[in-house]
Amino acid sequence: MYNGGKIILGLIVFIGLMAAPFIFGLGKGNAKPNPSIDTPAIKAMEKKQCVEAKAVMKTEHMKMLNDWRDSVVRDGKRLYVATDGKKYDMSLQNTCMKCHSNKAQFCDKCHIYVGAKPYCWDCHIAPKEGA
């Protein structure tokens, strides 16, 4: 092979670099995150129910928040009529975080685990925790 040595060396370096995250992560099993809903507001709820069912919220909350923000900011419609007919003010700060006042335990746990970096908090004010 023309320049065989160099090519093989290059390949080894390339594979090494690409595999580095896996090699260094070996044996450091990450526990599945378990976001906490242990907040005073949620504790006080008789029926612990978010705006939609838990399963929906789990998979759809990011899309929902996107739709909410467009509806509020762009269409001027700020009330959400949920599947069960209940109405909610579509506001991250004034609705979501009023119940989920534990951002670190609720939002961050999963987001860090999956490596999602939503920029919500660059503008939206997170509730004061431990308050």
Partner 1 sequence: MKIERREFLKLAGLSAIFGLGGTAIAASVQQTPSYIPDPKELTGKRWALVINMDKFKTDADVKRVIEVCHTKHNVPNIPNPKQEVKWIFTEMMENVFPEQQDKYLTEHYKHMPFLTLCNHCANPPCVRVCPTQATFKRKSDGIVMMDMHRCIGCRFCMAGCPYGARSLNWIDPRPYLDPKKINPEFPTRMKGVVEKCTLCYELIAVGKIPACAEASNGAIVFGDLEDPKSEVRKVLAETYTIRRKPELGTRPSVYYVIGGMKDAGKGA
Establish if 54 lies at the interface with partner 1 (CB under 8 A): yes
Q: How many residues bind partner 1 (CB under 8 A)?
A: 35
Name which position in 4, 27, 85, 130 contacts partner 1 (CB under 8 A). Answer: 85
CB within 8 Å of 99: residues ≥ 6 apart: 39, 41, 42, 45, 50
Using CA atoms, how far apart are residues 32 and 37, in angstroms rounded to an integer? 16
Name which position in 59, 62, 116, 129 contacts partner 1 (CB under 8 A). Answer: 59
Establish if 115 lies at the interface with partner 1 (CB under 8 A): no
Establish if 26 lies at the interface with partner 1 (CB under 8 A): no
Other Cβ atoms within 10 Å of 93 Cβ, number: 13
Cα separation of the two ends of the chain: 68
Q: Which residues bind partner 1 (CB under 8 A)?
A: 47, 49, 52-56, 59, 67, 69, 71, 73-85, 87, 89-90, 93-94, 119, 122-125, 127
